[in-house]
């Protein structure tokens, strides 16, 4: 399939002079809301008057084409629907029991791919990524040589050390048509990028999700040039790839202790949040993995299988309360991901408009 041109046609060929304000409805159908375009994508110099100015539109069409991965020609032509420059579909894994229309994936995929393209230009060429070097037990040992426990922060640092940028996914701001995924893997040149959002917003949740996405890379489920999105990460998935990724992730996080907390689940009919948090803290000191993750592991196990809905509700309510106990560390993941980018990346390598786009899209200005 040919790549669409970013160059808009001469306005005289369109029959009437379009402007950005008149193109918002087309962008919304493609998955990009007016709020998202205004608050996240457009340069700060663009005012409401500029949005209505046909003379400014060619410049804005070019910018939006590059930022969103769409054809600026299709944006400028009122008779043509939005066309994506790289319309090849990513592989995706929907949440259990749901079916996703293919068109829901494209907007989420392309906008994050464009941000990855900008960020890649800010990063040093080394280290090179090598998939077969990712052994879960060796990674665990490496991290624990310098960290007291394997948690989101230490695994994040390892990913960057191994040439794998981990970034917060771009929020498409209430788009009803675009997919809101939990994890995404995409490539720019020879470098894989992991994007996290949704349930990965806190470190206790984010640790397993990051380990799971890293597993897909290590097991070469996502080849160079591919993109892979997951609507959710389910520890109980029956898919062969997902089972393998979950096993790899648990080996990384737990080593030889994959049954940690399982006895608590099987022998205790009822447990309070304080008791669950205390047990998780004890296990953390023994096997050097984040206590918050262990709390969630216990909830997953208690809520899985043919248990009644009430048992599931109680299990997750208890886990959520345990995560709030003062003894449990559960930070937000986004500031940690952005701090890693600030340390590793050189945004001055970008033009002023490119830099502003990355800053606003990822929330570096927050």
Going by pLDDT thresholds of 50, 70 and 90, the confidence category of residue 106 is confident
77 vs 250 pLDDT, higher one: 250
Give 228-245 pLDDT, tens digit per residue.
Answer: 888 777 666 667 888 999
> What residues does each domain of the chain span?
11-76, 91-254+332-362, 262-323
With a cut of 90, say whether residue 93 has pLDDT above it: no
Specify the pLDDT at position 14: 41
- Tell me the pLDDT tens digit for each residue of 334-352: 999 999 999 999 999 999 9
Instruction: Return the DSSP state at 365.
Output: T
107 or 60, higher pLDDT: 60
pLDDT 10s digits, 277-289? 999 999 999 999 9
The pLDDT value given to residue 15: 46
| 91-119: average pLDDT | 75
- Percentage of the chain beyond pLDDT 90 is 62
Please state, for a pLDDT cut of 70, what percent of the chain lies above it: 86
Whether residue 131 is predicted with pLDDT greater than 90 in this model: the reply is: no
The mean predicted confidence, pLDDT, of the chain is 87
pLDDT at 134 over 80: yes
273-282, long-range: CB < 8 A, 24+ apart:
273/318, 273/319, 273/321, 273/322, 273/324, 273/325, 274/322, 274/325, 276/318, 276/319, 276/322, 277/322, 277/323, 277/325, 277/327, 277/328, 278/327, 280/322, 280/328, 281/327, 281/328
pLDDT on residue 3: 42
Given this model, what pLDDT does residue 238 score? 65
pTM (2 d.p.)? 0.89
Burial class (CB in 10 A: 0-12, 13-18, 19+), 206: buried
Task: Report DSSP state, residue 328.
Answer: S
Q: What pLDDT was estimated at residue 303?
A: 86
Torsion angle of C-alpha atoms 97, 103, 109, 111, degrees rounded to 10? -140
| pLDDT at residue number 104 | 66
Arithmetic mean of pLDDT, 135-157: 96
Give me the pLDDT at residue 78, please: 82
């Amino acid at each position: 399939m040919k790549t669409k041109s970013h160059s808009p046609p001469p306005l005289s060929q369109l029959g009437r002079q379009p402007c950005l304000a008149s193109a918002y409805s087309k962008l919304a159908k493609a998955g990009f809301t007016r709020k998202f375009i205004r608050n996240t994508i457009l340069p700060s110099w663009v005012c409401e008057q500029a949005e209505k100015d046909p003379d400014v539109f060619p410049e804005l069409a070019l910018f939006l084409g590059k930022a969103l991965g769409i054809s600026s020609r299709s944006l400028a032509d009122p008779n043509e629907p939005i066309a994506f420059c790289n319309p090849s579909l990513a592989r995706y894994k929907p949440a259990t029991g749901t079916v996703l229309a293919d068109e829901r994936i494209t907007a989420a995929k392309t906008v994050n791919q464009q941000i990855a393209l900008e960020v890649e230009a800010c990063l040093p060429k080394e280290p090179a990524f090598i998939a077969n070097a990712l052994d879960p037990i060796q990674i665990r040992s490496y991290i624990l040589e310098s960290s007291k426990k394997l948690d989101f922060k230490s695994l994040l640092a390892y990913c960057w050390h191994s040439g794998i940028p981990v970034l917060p996914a771009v929020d498409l701001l209430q788009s009803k048509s675009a997919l809101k995924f939990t994890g995404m893997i995409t490539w720019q040149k020879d470098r894989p990028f992991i994007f996290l959002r949704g349930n990965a917003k806190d470190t206790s949740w984010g640790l397993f999700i990051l380990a799971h996405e890293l597993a897909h890379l290590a097991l070469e489920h996502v080849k160079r040039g591919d993109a892979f999105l997951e609507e959710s990460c389910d520890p109980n998935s029956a898919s062969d790839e997902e089972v393998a990724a979950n096993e790899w992730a648990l080996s990384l996080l737990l080593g030889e202790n994959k049954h940690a907390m399982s006895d608590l689940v099987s022998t205790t009919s009822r447990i309070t949040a304080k008791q669950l948090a205390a047990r998780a803290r004890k296990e953390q000191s023994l096997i050097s993995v984040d206590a918050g993750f262990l709390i969630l592991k216990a909830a997953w196990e208690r809520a899985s299988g043919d248990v009644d809905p009430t048992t599931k509700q109680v299990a997750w309510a208890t886990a959520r309360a345990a995560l709030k106990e003062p003894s449990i560390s559960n930070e937000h993941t986004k500031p940690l991901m952005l701090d890693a980018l600030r340390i590793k990346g050189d945004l001055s390598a970008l033009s002023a408009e490119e830099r502003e786009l990355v800053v606003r899209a990822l929330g570096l200005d927050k």
